[in-house]
Amino acid sequence: MGTLFRTKSPELLMREAQAPERQLKRSLSALDLTALGIGAIIGTGIFGLTGTAAAGEQAAASIWKTPLLNFVQAWIS
């Protein structure tokens, strides 16, 4: 039962975290980052479109504006 509540000292935790085999490696390529950006743009458009559609019939006339504005905002950022 004594091992259930065993703790490590902060110094030991820091030494273990600094070990090279415990470090994360950078492995995202340009294609991965591009796909991530495109996914974010499409996701933003879907959420914006859902909110516009949920607003009712009056919003139906401007339903094309939301994805357009979302794409422009994502492109600027």
Phi and psi of 64, rounded to 5°?
-80, -20
pLDDT for position 75: 82
Cβ 51 vs Cβ 66: under 8 Å:
yes
Q: What is the CB neighbour count within 10 angstroms for residue 36?
A: 11
Threshold 0.85, pTM exceeds: no
Cβ 53 vs Cβ 59: under 8 Å:
yes
pLDDT for position 73: 82
Task: Give helix 65-76 / helix 30-54 axis angle, nearest 10°.
Answer: 150
pLDDT for position 36: 94
Question: Residue ranges of the chain with pLDDT lower than 70?
Answer: 1-2, 52-63
